[in-house]
Amino acid sequence: MREILPELSRWYAAGDPFGLATVVAVSRSAPRDPGAAMAVGPDDEVVGSVSGGCVEGAVFELAREVVASGEARLETFGYSDEDAFAVGLTCGGEITVLVRPVTPEADPAFGAVARSVAAREPVTVATVIDGPAPLGATLAVWPDSVGGTLGTTGLDVAVTADARGELALGATGLRHYGPRGERREDSVTVFLRSFAPPPRMLVFGAIDYAAAVARIGDFLGYRVTVCDARPVFATPKRFPAGVEVVVDWPHRYLAGTDTDERTVICVLTHDPKFDVPLLEEALRRPAAYIGAMGSRRTHDDRMKRLLESDLGKGELARLRSPIGLDLGARTPEEVAVSVAAEIVALRWSGTGMPLTGVAGAIHRARSG
């Protein structure tokens, strides 16, 4: 959705109606996650994708029909022998897609949502996808305001509370309510799509490996900061454009920096005077991933020093050291791939094994 919003904003500002298709649920080996979007605008212009090509033709026709009728549609596409190469997913998965018309009259908050997303301001969009509430109705929820309605005050109140919780985590998913927001009922299904600021990657140690890790972190969508106490190494010209470079003692910088459950911390200093105080700080705070570079000998010495601190076993168990997966990496770029692979595997509960040797679904649900 982020990628296609500039075009959607242009259509919206011009008053041109468009059909917006959003993946709201997936199962098995679906090619796109919930939140993936495609839109059909004036002159049948198409932006975005909901399946990587499997069902785009059918969704295109649905979007045209939705714009013509002004009524939202919910459709499920899945694999079958008869229609796998017509309307279906040849990968064997299943996706549910909500297609709704968007105009200033039908969705008065869309413009504000688009501006917030462009400015990287947090906002969650709640959309009714099933039950005794208007299909396709939307409620935009910011940390301190709301826009739109799902049909009843009670439903709006309940969804607003949940949407703000999801927004804090940058989470996207389905919630169920009664028609007036009753928590113990599930007749109304609402899709919550959170647009939170990009997660942070904090890289400590301005070495060649840091430049490669920062580059792949930026590619994966993280907001990357590189920190080192040595100004001769911590210079912007050594790192990709858009990467923040900070000259400071690592533990002091981290102590003054907010982290959350999505933050990635990569400690590449492998020098006890830097990394031990830094890891003592890192292991006490929220983070999705904390990894430290070094040899087996460096790791053993580091752990010995950390054990002398007052860190608990649970805190020490969070440390991924030596950093990365066993890919046989040698160059900084190869090491960066192994670090990124470990981050992705931890995020999605992957095994790190070759897919040829793993049975079951390729795309796992998010852990936790």
pLDDT of residue 189: 97
Q: How confident is the model at residue 172 (pLDDT cuts 50, 70, 90)?
A: confident
- Per-residue pLDDT of 192-251, as tens digits, reads 999 887 789 999 999 889 999 999 999 988 999 999 999 999 999 999 888 999 999 999
What would you measure as the largest C-alpha separation in the chain, in angstroms?
69
Stretch 123-129: mean pLDDT: 96
Q: How confident is the model at residue 85 (pLDDT cuts 50, 70, 90)?
A: very low
| Mean pLDDT rounded to a whole number for the chain | 90
pTM, two decimal places: 0.66
- Cα distance between residue 361 and residue 355, in whole Å: 10
pLDDT of residue 274: 93
pLDDT of residue 92: 58
pLDDT of residue 231: 94
pLDDT of residue 81: 40
- Cα distance between residue 87 and residue 190, in whole Å: 26
**Following DSSP, what letter does each residue of 119-187 receive, concatenated?**
TT--EEEEEEEESSS-TT-EEEEETTEEEE-SSSHHHHHHHHHHHHHHHHHT--EEEEE-TT--TT--S
- Cα distance between residue 48 and residue 39, in whole Å: 6
Q: How far is CA 97 from the centre of its chain?
A: 19
Stretch 25-48: mean pLDDT: 86
Residue 365 has pLDDT above 90, yes or no: no
pLDDT of residue 95: 87
pLDDT of residue 29: 59
% of the chain with per-residue pLDDT over 70: 91
**Residue bearing the bigger pLDDT, 206 or 84:** 206
Q: How confident is the model at residue 104 (pLDDT cuts 50, 70, 90)?
A: very high
- Identity of residue 76: T
